[in-house]
Amino acid sequence: MTTRRLRLGMVGGGEGAFIGAVHRIAARLDDQYQLVAGAFSSRAEVAARSGAALHIEPARCYATWQSMAEREAAREDGIDVVAIVTPNHLHVPVARTFLAQGIHVICDKPLGLTLDEGRALADDIARSGCRFVLTHNYSALPMVREARTRVANGELGEIRSVEVEYLQGWLNERVELTDNKQASWRADPALAGAGAAGDIATHAWQLAAFVSGMLPEALRGELLTRVAGRQIDDEVFAEMRYASGARGRLWASQVATGYENDLRLRIVGTRASLAFRQQQPNELTILPHDAPASVVTRNGQGISAEVALACRTPAGHPEGYLEGFAQIYREAAQLIRGEAMPLLPGIADGIAGMQFIARLRQSSEQEGAWVAWA
Residues of the chain with CATH 3.30.360.10: 139-316+347-365
Residues of the chain with CATH 3.40.50.720: 6-130
Share of the chain above pLDDT 90, in %: 94
Residues 192-211 have a mean pLDDT of 98
Superfamily of domain 6-130: NAD(P)-binding Rossmann-like Domain (3.40.50.720)
Which residues, in sequence order, are CB contacts of 47 under 8 Å at separation 6+? 14, 38, 39, 40, 41, 61, 62, 63
Query: What is the value of pTM for the model shown?
Result: 0.96
**Is residue 49 scored above 50 in pLDDT?**
yes
At the topology level, CATH places domain 139-316+347-365 in Dihydrodipicolinate Reductase; domain 2 (3.30.360)
* Length, in residues, of the chain: 374
Identify the pLDDT of residue 153.
Answer: 97
pLDDT digits (tens, 9 = 90+) for 64-102: 999 999 999 999 999 999 999 999 999 999 999 999 999
Per-residue burial over 268-302, b if 16 or more Cβ lie within 10 Å, else e, is bbeebbbbbebeebbebbbbeeeeeeeebbbbbee
pLDDT digits (tens, 9 = 90+) for 254-282: 999 999 999 999 999 999 999 999 999 99
**Is residue 342 scored above 90 in pLDDT?**
no
Strand-strand pairing, 262-269 and 218-224: unpaired
Identify the pLDDT of residue 16.
Answer: 85
Identify the pLDDT of residue 347.
Answer: 97
Element (DSSP H or E) covering residue 34: strand 33-39
**Is residue 295 scored above 60 in pLDDT?**
yes
**Is residue 1 scored above 80 in pLDDT?**
no
Task: Report helix angle 202-212 to 142-152, nearest 10.
Answer: 40
Tell me the pLDDT band of 2, cut-offs 50, 70 and 90: low
DSSP state of 159: E
Half-sphere exposure of 198 (CA within 13 A, CB side): 29
pLDDT digits (tens, 9 = 90+) for 231-254: 999 999 999 999 999 999 999 999
Mean pLDDT of the chain: 96
Cβ atoms of 286 and 150 within 8 Å: the answer is yes
